[in-house]
Amino acid sequence: MLRVMDPSRLRARASGRERCPCCPDGLAEDARARCAGLLTAALLFGPLLLMIWLQRRRDVDGTRGPGRRSSVPAAEPNALSGRGSGGCSAADPVAGITSGVKIVLTGDGAEAARLVADEILAALRAKPNLVLGLPTGSTPIGVYEHLRAAYAAGEADFSRVHTFNLDEYLDLPAEHPQSYRFFMQEHLFSGVNVPAENIHFPPSEGDDLVRRCAEYEETIERVGGIDIMLLGMGRNGHIGFNEPTSSLASRTRVKTLTRRTLDDNARFYAEGEEQPVLATTMGIGTILDARKILLQAIGAKKARAVQAAVEGPVSSFFPASALQLHPDVTCYFDPEAAELLRMKDYYRSTRAHELRLKAEGRLAARS
Ligand code: F6R
Contact of 130 with 226, CB cutoff 8 Å: no
Report the residue among 116, 134, 136 best suited for mutation to probe ligand 1: largest number of ligand atoms under 8 A from its CB. 136
* Residue 66: predicted pLDDT: 32
Q: Please tell me the distance from the alpha carbon of residue 91 to that of residue 88, in angstroms, as a whole number.
A: 8
Range with the poorest average pLDDT among 42-51, 113-122, 141-150, 324-333: 42-51
pLDDT band at 52 (very low <50, low <70, confident <90, very high): low
* Residue 47: predicted pLDDT: 72
Q: Ligand 1: which atom is nearest the Cα of residue 299?
A: 16
Q: How far is the CA of 166 from the centre of ligand 1 (A)?
A: 10
* Residue 97: predicted pLDDT: 53
Nearest CA to ligand 1 atom 10: 232
Contact of 20 with 34, CB cutoff 8 Å: no
| pTM for the predicted model, two decimal places | 0.76
Q: How far is the CA of 139 from the centre of ligand 1 (A)?
A: 7
Span 285-321, pLDDT tens digits: 999 999 999 999 999 999 999 999 999 999 999 999 9
Pocket of ligand 1 (CB under 6 A): 135-139, 166-167, 180, 232-234, 238-240
In the three-class reduction of DSSP (H, G, I as helix; E, B as strand; rest coil), residue 322 is classed as helix
Q: How far is the CA of 231 from the centre of ligand 1 (A)?
A: 8
Alpha carbon dihedral 248, 238, 295, 352, in 10-degree steps, equals -80
Q: Ligand 1: which atom is nearest the Cα of residue 241?
A: 9
Nearest CA to ligand 1 atom 8: 240
Cβ atoms < 10 Å from Cβ of 281: 27
Nearest CA to ligand 1 atom 3: 240
Span 239-292, pLDDT tens digits: 999 999 999 999 999 999 999 999 988 888 888 888 999 999 999 999 999 999
**Dihedral (CA of 132, 136, 138, 141) sign:** positive
Range with the poorest average pLDDT among 23-37, 93-107, 168-182, 184-198: 23-37
Span 78-101, pLDDT tens digits: 222 222 223 333 333 333 455 679
The arithmetic mean of pLDDT across residues 347-354, rounded, is 94
Question: Considering the domain 79-359 in this protein, what is its CATH number?
Answer: 3.40.50.1360
Residue numbers annotated as active site: 167, 236, 238, 243
Span 14-40, pLDDT tens digits: 444 444 444 444 445 555 666 566 777
Q: Please tell me the distance from the alpha carbon of residue 147 to that of residue 161, in angstroms, as a whole number.
A: 13
Residue 175 has pLDDT above 70, yes or no: yes
Q: Please tell me the distance from the alpha carbon of residue 202 to that of residue 179, in angstroms, as a whole number.
A: 12
* Summary mean pLDDT of the chain: 83
Span 53-83, pLDDT tens digits: 665 544 444 333 333 333 333 333 322 222 2
Q: Ligand 1: which atom is nearest the Cα of residue 231?
A: 10
